[in-house]
Amino acid sequence: MHKRSLLATVPLALLLATSFAQAQHKHVHGEGKLDVVIDKGLITLDLELPLDAAVGFERPPKNGKEKAALADAAKALNATANLFVPTPAAQCSVQSTEVKVPFTGGDDQHGQHPHEGESHHADIDANYVFKCANPATLKGIETTLFNTFKRLYRLEVQRTGPGGQGAQRLAPRNPVLTW
Ligand SMILES: [Zn+2]
């Protein structure tokens, strides 16, 4: 193949791969994802929420009220011990909390992905780590996310831990992950 056409091909392939990856990254409004790993007394939670589920919009805030809604969401998502309650007997304490809410003055491109020519979508990403003094008694984790975010109606959970891997769907009437 002539050298020049090879060079022309590479960016195109890259472009296709990127747009394919972006197209794959769809979210469903009202539905979040939670990955939970329980390992050696540590619980790691990775949460992904459509921004829409937290504040009802997925674009830069237009006014003070929307800015306040984003700030309230970020505050609630940083209150780790309120959001997730592991089995009390396991005596788990918060080790770390990392929350990225788009349009709150950090990396505003974060979590944004174009969607078929219409407006952008945006995701909240958060990572939480708990350390448990009595991991043997750990039987579940209750979440208050549905109380905090009324637009959230489903949480798809993937769990990896002592009992192996499992999936569970949480909802306002069933906010407890058990294993
Ligand atoms: Zn969206």
Q: How far is the CA of 114 from the centre of ligand 1 (A)?
A: 9
The single-letter DSSP state of residue 162 is T
Cβ count within 10 A of residue 116: 6
Q: Which is nearest to 155 in space by CA: 81, 49, 82, 7?
A: 49
Beta bridge mates, 167:
158
Q: What is the pLDDT of residue 143?
A: 98
Q: How far is the CA of 124 from the centre of ligand 1 (A)?
A: 11
Measured CA to CA, the distance from residue 34 to residue 156 in angstroms comes to 6
Measured CA to CA, the distance from residue 42 to residue 14 in angstroms comes to 38
Q: In the predicted model, what is the mean pLDDT of the chain?
A: 87
Helix (H) or strand (E) holding 9: helix 3-24
Query: If you search the block for the tokens 């459509």, which residue do you land on?
Result: 50
Q: How far is the CA of 30 from the centre of ligand 1 (A)?
A: 9
**In the predicted structure, residue 115 carries a pLDDT above the cut 70:** no
Q: How far is the CA of 96 from the centre of ligand 1 (A)?
A: 27
Q: How far is the CA of 117 from the centre of ligand 1 (A)?
A: 13
Measured CA to CA, the distance from residue 171 to residue 165 in angstroms comes to 20
Could you report the per-residue pLDDT of 46-105, keeping only the tens digit for each?
999 999 999 999 999 999 999 999 999 999 999 999 999 999 999 999 999 999 999 997
pTM of the model: 0.80
Query: For residues 142, 144, 149 and 155, what is the CA-based torsion angle, rounded to 10 degrees?
Result: 0
Q: Which is nearest to 123 in space by CA: 17, 34, 14?
A: 34
Amino acid occupying residue 28: V
Task: Tell me the percentage of the chain whose pLDDT exceeds 70.
Answer: 78
Cβ count within 10 A of residue 158: 14
